């Protein structure tokens, strides 16, 4: 079930107006899509945070507009604490859309008990489905993952009617022996893996997106 979200129209835009709204506990937003004109909106910060807590990807906008919308992008302040801007995309509940969903691990791998290290390689998966079928997360169940084994995209359980857009043979999770000290030193200069967390955006970047 989709969350409802009350929104109001924004007659003025720009960084100064955005700062004023945030001081008043509001979050600037924009609604676009379906070939219709973009509309500048705002919603209460507490309401946006509630949507985030519930894991809702599709919301029913009420007030200034009445439509179903996908939370396409949610920008946070520098510290990842408060939402500062939201992009809404108009959707029809019967249409199929493409969306990226986070992947997380579930269960304990036998390979881990045997001394292996379980590594999540694919942190998010792009799928195609109807708006009401978008999951909060896609779970990679590792209860049968042995040492030296892999889980691939085709091993993931997706919501009914959802289709993965990645190659089915792409590795999602692996379980391998930990690197030895000399191997670790050899790859010390390699890039570190991406840290998963909230997408924090500089306020100026968020305001630039508002137009």
CATH architecture, domain 3-91: Beta Barrel (2.40)
Strand partners, 101: 125
Strand partners, 76: 83, 200
Pairing mode of beta strands 36-44, 67-76: unpaired
Q: What is the per-residue pLDDT across 143-156, written as a single tens digit (0 to 9) for each? A: 999 999 999 999 99
d(CA 129, CA 150): 26
What are the two backbone dihedrals, phi and then psi, of residue 51, each rounded to the nearest 5 degrees?
Answer: -60, -45
Predicted confidence at residue 194, as pLDDT, reads 47
Predicted confidence at residue 85, as pLDDT, reads 97
d(CA 138, CA 120): 12
| Least confident segment among 66-75, 84-93, 146-155, 182-191 | 182-191
Q: What is the per-residue pLDDT across 83-99, written as a single tens digit (0 to 9) for each? A: 999 999 999 988 999 99
Predicted confidence at residue 29, as pLDDT, reads 97
Residue 153 CA to its chain's centroid (Å): 18
pLDDT at residue 186 is higher than 80: no
What distances in angstroms separate CA 166 from CA 15, 45, 151, one per listed residue? 38, 35, 14
Question: In the structure, what pLDDT confidence band is assigned to residue 196 with cuts at 50, 70 and 90?
Answer: very low
Question: In the structure, what pLDDT confidence band is assigned to residue 189 with cuts at 50, 70 and 90?
Answer: low
Sign of the alpha-carbon dihedral angle for 53, 193, 75, 102: negative
Which pair of tokens denotes residue 70?
């996908």
CB-based burial, 76-112: b 16+ in 10 Å, e otherwise: bbeeeeebbbbbbbbbeeeeebebebebebeeebbbb
Question: In the structure, what pLDDT confidence band is assigned to residue 17 with cuts at 50, 70 and 90?
Answer: very high
Give the CATH number of domain 97-179: 2.170.120.20
| Least confident segment among 96-105, 121-130, 163-172, 183-192 | 183-192
pLDDT at residue 182 is higher than 70: no
Query: Average pLDDT in the 30-45 region?
Result: 95
Look over the chain and give the mean of its residue pLDDT values, rounded to a whole number: 87
The structural domains of the chain, with segments of one domain joined by +, span 3-91, 97-179
Percent of the chain beyond pLDDT 70?
84
pLDDT at residue 176 is higher than 70: yes
Q: H helices of 77-198, where?
A: 110-113, 181-186
Predicted confidence at residue 93, as pLDDT, reads 82
d(CA 137, CA 140): 10
**Cα separation of the two ends of the chain:** 32
Look at residue 106 and give its three-state secondary structure: strand
């Amino acid at each position: 079930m989709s969350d409802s979200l009350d929104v109001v129209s924004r007659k003025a835009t720009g960084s100064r107006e955005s700062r004023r709204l945030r001081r008043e506990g509001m979050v600037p937003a924009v609604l676009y899509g379906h070939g219709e004109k973009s509309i500048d909106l705002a919603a209460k910060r507490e309401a946006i945070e509630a949507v985030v807590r519930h894991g809702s990807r599709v919301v029913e906008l009420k007030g200034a507009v009445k439509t179903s919308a996908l939370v396409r992008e949610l920008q946070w302040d520098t510290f990842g604490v408060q939402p500062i801007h939201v992009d809404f995309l108009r959707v029809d509940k019967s249409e199929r859309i493409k969306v990226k969903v986070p992947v997380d691990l579930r269960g304990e791998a036998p390979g881990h008990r045997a001394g292996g290290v379980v590594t999540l390689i694919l942190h998010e998966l792009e799928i195609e489905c109807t708006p009401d079928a978008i999951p909060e997360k896609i779970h990679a169940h590792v209860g049968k993952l042995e040492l030296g084994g892999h889980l691939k995209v085709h091993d993931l359980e997706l919501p009914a009617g959802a289709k993965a857009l990645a190659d089915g043979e792409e590795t999602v999770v692996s379980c391998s022996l930990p690197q030895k000290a000399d191997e670790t030193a050899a790859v010390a200069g390699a890039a570190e893996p991406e840290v998963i967390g909230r997408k924090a955006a500089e306020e100026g970047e968020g305001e630039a997106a508002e137009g």
